[in-house]
Structure 1
Amino acid sequence: MFPIQRPRRLRSHPQLRRMVQENVLTTSDLIYPLFAVPGEGIAQEVRSMPGVYQLSVDKIVEEAKEVYDLGIPAIILFGIPADKDDDATGAWHDHGIVQVATTAVKEAVPDLIVIVDTCLCEYTAHGHCGYLEVGDLTGRVLNDPTLELLKKTAVSQAKSGADIIAPSGMMDGFVQAIRAGLDEGGFQDIPILSYAAKYASSYYGPFRDAAESAPQFGDRRTYQMDPANGQEALKEIELDIAEGADMLMVKPALAYMDIIWRVKQATNLPVAAYNVSGEYSMIKAAALNGWVDEQRIVLETLLGFKRSGADLILTYHAKDAARWLNG
């Protein structure tokens, strides 16, 4: 009771505050997303994501070197193919854009961890994450046939040198199918970072500009989770763990810190939070208008993810955050 208890005593000096700080954000917590496109010498800024670019493979390699030099341990690669079709050929072809970029990065920066997004929406003509029933305009993906595509994609990505496979399509049984495919292909040691709790969120809008993956019709609510649900996230992670997931992801992060916390409490596996495009773009827009202090609000947001239980943070702020943390 006051005046005996005075919590402000431990806030009186910067070094003292440092000593009693409960959570610490470091560059080792960060993963930087990159978007690979065909061609050479291409660095096309994404209109709705200032500071984020679609990059040709040579530029991806330059970014990878910079990321590694900043102390960020990993990138995650997304691909935009030259051509799209209903079989998502660009996702699983051995010369697909992500496969080519992965090999190039691993040759140039072998100690940088390359995570690959294992999904199909960037590669299908309709923009959905798998096979659709002929004539179906609702966006209801055929689950089991799609698993075979994901399996082929994961094996192809592993062959190209990927360190971690990250399936994001929210198909039932996708972790089990991918784990079986990797094991059969001799990639038993490649871990799976599952997008275990991925919500049908409005925060993804700018990403669809970056990855050119907006659905041509319908939406993704038949396979991504309802934002109203929390208990369902625990069911999803339980299933993915049973199927062989090595790490779990919650996406988005900012409006879902309660889910990050609940997932962390329910498992001993590493938990990743995806600080998604809409979250990034809101801060960038406010900062460009002078409404917020970008450095302080970014670091506070990322620290909030750590406090909520995230072990890893996928964020477009990663390079800036690393500079601020290092500086």
Structure 2
Amino acid sequence: MIRKYVMAAVVAAVAAAGGMSVAEAAEKLKVSGVYTVPVEQQWVSRIHKALTAAEERGDIDYDYSESVANADYERVMREYAEGGSDLVVGEAFAVEQAARRVAKDYPETAFLMGSSFPAQDPNFAVFDNFIHEPSYLTGMIAGGMTKSNVIGIVGGYPIPEVNRLMHAFMAGAKEINPDVKFMVSFIGSWFDPPKAKESAFAMIERGADVMYAERFGVSDAAKEKGVLAIGNVIDTQAQYPDTVVASALWHMEPTIDKAIAAVKDGSFKAEDYGLYSYMKHGGGSLAPLGTFESKVPADLKAKVEAKQKAILDGSFTVKVDDSEPKSTL
């Protein structure tokens, strides 16, 4: 059974003896992050942001390691567990066996890992970026903004968490524009902006006038070539005010806050936290149009707003398709 963080009776007794408040007497959770990429990489940046916010609120003490090689991932996880971390957060996509092995060896430590696979009893919980709903909405915008009816899509790897966003994006575009065609490619890396940029250049040369920037580097190519881009996970419009029309945003705060609360009250267990990335839980959203507010046609904006309402009230469900997307051009 996973350790209870602090028993209420003990905290109250300590507070009474020392004239302290219960909040002051309670020791903060010790949370560690283990990331295979830099924390500025868009996917990991969302986890880092949520954990940093929890630390700034005074809920946790947060430490992390970034750009950890796959071969070193298990060692770093073990070091944090041995060091007394109450909760270890990271992404296990390329290190599943190693990460799960560590969790088995430290049953008193809570692990919350990005994963395509089920949770593992008793202490290995999983999460994923289920932002296919706002991705569908950005696809609608892309379908309505393309002039050439050709959209380019550049991703990292064809794994479920990438594939489902691409499929949702494509479905949204097809709803608005049945004639649209797609070019799809994967660069084989989570963080290689130059390679993503080159892949985007190739698609733009073949007629794509809207690019889906699943990876960093794509929006740079779009900016240089004067075409539009759709962002993913984070909002980069401030950096590309004339290029990025809209973005599907991922908010990890609901997931992280649920996990922290569970560890604190001793209820943390092996379960799937993926649902907290859904729009109804505040885990996903469509970024404001900002600089493109007056450039996106009013009738298109109305359709997107209506679809968003339907998603939130449950009258429309965005399909989750984890299969590898293919080019249709």
Per the normalisation by structure 1, the TM-score is 0.26
- Provide the TM-score with structure 2 as the length reference: 0.26
Pick the structure with greater CA Rg: 2
